[in-house]
Amino acid sequence: MAVPALLILSALLHAAWNAVTKLSRDKDNFIFLSIIGACLLVFSAVALNGQGLNFGPGPGLRIALISGLFEGGYFIALSRSLAKTSLAKAYAIMRGGAMVAVWGVSIGLGLESIHGLTILGSVIILGGIAITGLSRSHSARRTQELLWPLVGAIFIAGYHLLYGEGLKAGAEPESLFALSMAVSVPFIFWVSKKSLLSRSRSTWAEEKLKLGFSVVAATLGFVIFLYGLKSSGPGYAISLRNTSIFFSVGFSILIRDQVTRLQIVGALVVGLGAALLGLGGSL
């Protein structure tokens, strides 16, 4: 499958599992169980493959460990974001903000070149984020609606760049993802540890089908994304991956999320900027 198709497929899967998480009653616990399930699934796949974990001869193992710290921070920010605001708004800010950060670092380090479309796309994304931030809600609530998605954007940018370096160091996508997920577990465990067993039993009893879908979609989405990232630059990869912003708008409407027209417009503007960034990166 061509790299663009891989990245777009991963975007669809990622937006889908975020939408299912938005529907969950106990988001911290739902994400915790999803990550546990993803770990079991990917470690089982590695074991059945018979080759074991492979991080290459370079610093792949160290990079995988550090990326897990960023993944853990992202999962906490994701849970908080989805609890505070709509899927479309949180998603646009997190993914759009991360995209601008990744492009900035990639261009600064000479990993990718800058074009007029790259600049235009970045400006449009920032404008889209500003639009999604507009709200009639109280200023304190509006701050919370923006704060956690922006924190999430930082963590997304961090693990994205680290994944790229890990793949260049020779780490296999499944190994990189498996160890990163394992490292991230204590983070989401910490924020969901209160009454963990009873909450987990309740989540499983009430939402086992959604949980199963979340595990599969999250795992496939991340692993497919890593295969796409392996064959492209980090800026270009995150641009196409962030077509998930468009999917998130559709899912928000589908699940009848409390999304405003202004938030939809902002998300679509961010998506347009992502498309221009991706086009500029392909030149």
pLDDT tens-place string over residues 61-87:
999 999 999 999 999 998 888 887 777
pLDDT at residue 67, as a whole number: 93
Mean pLDDT in residue range 146-168? 88
User: Residue 39 carries which side chain, given as an amino acid letter?
Assistant: C
Q: What is the pLDDT of residue 245?
A: 75
- CA–CA separation, 282 vs 273, rounded Å? 14
Better-scored residue on pLDDT, 224 or 282: 224
For residues 102 and 88, give the distance between their C-alpha atoms in angstroms, rounded to a whole number: 21
- In whole angstroms, what is the distance from residue 52 CA to residue 45 CA? 9
Per-residue pLDDT tens digits for 215-274:
999 999 888 888 888 777 666 677 777 777 778 778 888 887 777 777 778 777 877 877
Residue 137: burial class (beta carbons within 10 Å; 0-12, 13-18, 19+): exposed
